[in-house]
């Protein structure tokens, strides 16, 4: 399925429950101050993977210059032509093995 309209009502409820579980596990392990949740529907909206999936992004005070307005403003901090220079920032902020194991444990205990 590539579009949320393809989901049954039961699947939509399960998707929301999955988002809640992800947020709970991320909160336990990473202690974010908030979340951005996003679904890209269609190529024009940035969908590059041809299946339904949800981005659950933990956010922290001061992690970007423009947090008001959620993802649509936060992404203004990184322009496409600057992505190559942001590899170090990406590597610094990605989860390590210890955090990944902790998230797996938290999800398995739910």
Instruction: Kindly report the CATH number assigned to the domain that includes residue 45.
Output: 3.30.428.10
Q: Which two tokens stand for residue 95?
A: 């989860």
- Domain tally, the chain: 1
pLDDT at 82: 56
Identify whether 101 is part of a domain. yes
- Among residues 4, 53, 55, 66, the one annotated as catalytic is 53
Catalytic-residue membership of 53? yes
Domain extent, residue 26, equals 4-63+97-108
Identify whether 28 is part of a domain. yes
Neighbouring CB atoms inside 10 A of 28's CB total: 15
pLDDT digits (tens, 9 = 90+) for 8-32: 999 999 999 999 999 999 999 999 9
pLDDT digits (tens, 9 = 90+) for 89-100: 667 777 889 999
> Are 36 and 64 contacting, i.e. CB atoms less than 8 angstroms apart?
no
Identify whether 14 is part of a domain. yes
pLDDT at 95: 85
Identify whether 74 is part of a domain. no
Identify whether 10 is part of a domain. yes
pLDDT at 43: 82
Identify whether 57 is part of a domain. yes
Identify whether 35 is part of a domain. yes
Identify whether 70 is part of a domain. no
What are the residues whose beta carbons fall under 8 Å from the beta carbon of 101, sequence distance 6 or more?
A: none
> Are 33 and 59 contacting, i.e. CB atoms less than 8 angstroms apart?
yes
């Amino acid at each position: 399925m590539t579009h949320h309209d393809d989901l049954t009502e039961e699947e939509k409820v399960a998707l929301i429950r999955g988002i809640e579980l992800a947020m709970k596990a991320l909160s336990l392990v990473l202690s974010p101050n908030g979340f951005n949740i996003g679904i890209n529907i269609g190529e024009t909206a940035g969908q590059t993977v041809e299946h339904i999936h949800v981005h659950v992004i933990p956010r922290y005070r001061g992690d970007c210059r423009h947090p008001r307005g959620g993802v649509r403003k936060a992404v203004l901090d990184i322009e496409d032509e600057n992505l190559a220079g942001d590899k170090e920032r990406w590597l610094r902020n990605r989860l390590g093995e210890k955090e990944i194991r902790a998230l797996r444990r938290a999800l398995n205990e739910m």
